Amino acid sequence: MADEKNPEEGVPEERLQHEQLQREPHSEDGDTTDAEELIAAEGPDVEQPSDDLSSEDRALLDEAERDLVTEYRERAARAEAELVNFRMRVERDRAANREAVVADVVRSLLPVIDDLDLAEKHGDLVEGSAVALIAEKLRGTFERMGLRRVGEQGEVFDPNFHDAIAQLPTPGATEQTVADVVQVGFALGDRLLRAAKVAVAVPAE
């Protein structure tokens, strides 16, 4: 009778080792799992922070938020006001610069107006002549720009607009008035371009 063979005989050694490994528990994974369970079961009792606030703390937090919102609104309002003021200053400066440029140009042309006045006084501006037409257009342009004459006979003397080159004691005079206009003055809007040169009638002593 033939000898009974061991069922494992004839099986390759590598296969046997593989089956043995499959039957053995994985100690490393088991150790890791056991360690995690142990920590979860016996770990320190750490108190987790709570999201719940007391009514007092909530009131303080709400007040802080309101104060912060109010502060940001005030900052925004101040910034907007500063921007508006800046724009207004820019516009004022721009207008002032424009007026200054116009005033300089008109001031440089005042001698031309003086010559036209002198020509008219001497009868040189014949009606319908080319010079008379030019004078009329030039005067009209200056008037539309706001140019006005300063200094008329009989008006009260004002040192802000009149340059007194002579004083004439006048019986019966109770105040200083313009007795004669030697050279007319000009103002552009509120800006004085040239004071009028005048003789002033003063009360006699």
pTM value is 0.56
**How many CB atoms sit inside 10 A of residue 70's CB?**
10
Domain borders along the chain are: 148-205
Three-state SS for 45?
coil
pLDDT the model gives residue 40:
53
Identify the CATH homologous superfamily for domain 148-205.
Head domain of nucleotide exchange factor GrpE (2.30.22.10)
pLDDT grade for 51, boundaries at 50, 70 and 90: low
Query: What is residue 112's predicted lDDT score, i.e. its pLDDT?
Result: 92
Looking at residue 153, its pLDDT comes to: 92
pLDDT in tens, 52-93: 778 887 888 888 888 888 999 999 999 999 999 999 999 999
Instruction: Identify the pLDDT of residue 14.
Output: 58
Which has more pLDDT, 44 or 181? 181
pLDDT at residue 159, rounded to an integer: 94
Given a cut of 90, whether residue 163 has pLDDT beyond it is: yes
Q: Give the mean pLDDT of the chain.
A: 80
Phi, psi angles (nearest 5°) of residue 43? -65, 165
Both tokens assigned to 76: 């925004």
Q: What is the percent of the chain with per-residue pLDDT over 70, rounded to a whole number?
A: 75
Question: To 10 degrees, what angle do helices 130-144 and 55-121 make?
Answer: 160
**Confidence grade of residue 46 (pLDDT, cut at 50, 70, 90):** very low
Q: Which residues pair with 170 in a beta bridge?
A: 203
21 phi and psi angles, rounded to 5 deg: -65, -35
Nearest to 194 by CA among 150, 137, 157, 164: 150
Q: What pLDDT score was predicted for residue 99?
A: 86
Write the pLDDT tens digit of every residue in 115-153.
Answer: 999 988 888 888 888 888 988 999 999 999 899 999 999
pLDDT of residue 167: 92
- The yes-or-no verdict on residue 19 having pLDDT over 50 is yes
Report the alpha-carbon angle 83-89-94, nearest 5: 130
pLDDT for 78 equals 92
* Residue linked to tokens 């501006």: 125
Whole-angstrom distance, CA of residue 38 vs CA of residue 31: 10
Phi, psi of 116 (to 5 degrees): -65, -40
Residue 176 in this model has a pLDDT that exceeds 80: yes
Identity (one letter) of the amino acid at 19? E
